[in-house]
Amino acid sequence: MGIGFVLLLWAVVGAILAGVGAVVLGGSTALLTRGVAQGRKRVILAASVFPFLCLGWAGIVFFFQAAVNEFVFHRDPGLGDTWQCPLPDGYALLMIDETEQGWVFNPKTQGGDGVAEGEDSISGVRVLQLSGPYILGGRDSHAYQFASKDDNIESYFLLDTKTGKHESFPAYEALRAKAQQLGINLNLERISAVYSRYRYTWFEAFVGLLVCGPPLLAALLLVRWIVRLRRARGLLLQPV
């Protein structure tokens, strides 16, 4: 699904949940502040609006992190059918529609309209390993065809990121022999595992804190407001 459709879906779900939350919080606040003469309507209104404010804040934070990820870190926004992240050697990973296979490519030699296969860009990559200036992996040139299985690997490669050239191998044993010549202990992983390792950084922790921190603080202030009103009501009800 495209990111536009996913955003629309989340917006609809979020609006429904916010509406339910508004009814629950507004009703609970009304029950908790029965008998309060001053400030009751305002706190009920605040409690009812609170879920929609949280939804709006989450939307703002999402677009903020999406812009930072795309223009600063050159990564995907976290939603949609495209997954992309940079690798430590200046290359990058790209997966579209599925996370079982994708591209390894050099962004500096690619245009803005997709990835073209070449000496420094390889498609159909299923397994990967990064070792110094080398990227080792296995690929399936028919990865997008229905006849191809998710674990099918028809050839292997070793890409030298310094020269931008890659060498192909017909079998795993041939790649392992080449790796041993270079002093590399071969340990290939699924491309999705490599993606997860380099896609998520300290920035995601910061975004999580940003999206949760202000709403939690606002919730605490709302609870404090309700408690103060209840205490004021208790004082008014005490016999003189």
184/87 same-domain check = yes
Q: How many CB atoms lie within 10 A of CB 46?
A: 19
133/217 same-domain check = no
d(CA 164, CA 127): 19
- How many angstroms separate the most distant Cα atoms in the chain? 94
Per-residue model confidence (pLDDT) at position 240? 43
Q: Residue 109 sits in which domain range?
A: 82-199
Per-residue model confidence (pLDDT) at position 78? 87
d(CA 93, CA 87): 7
110/53 same-domain check = no
Per-residue confidence of the chain (240 residues) as pLDDT tens digits? 567 788 888 999 999 999 999 999 999 999 998 888 788 899 999 999 999 999 999 999 999 999 999 999 999 998 888 999 999 989 999 999 888 999 999 999 887 667 878 889 999 999 999 999 999 999 997 766 654 556 789 999 999 999 999 999 999 999 999 999 999 999 999 999 999 999 999 999 999 999 999 999 999 999 999 998 888 765 444 454
d(CA 230, CA 30): 11
26/122 same-domain check = no
3-state helix, strand, coil in the chain (%, to 5): 50, 20, 30
Per-residue model confidence (pLDDT) at position 60? 96
Angle CA 35–37–43, to nearest 5: 90
Instruction: Tally the domains of the chain.
Output: 2
List C-alpha distances in Å: 189 to 34, 128, 131, 135.
61, 5, 12, 12
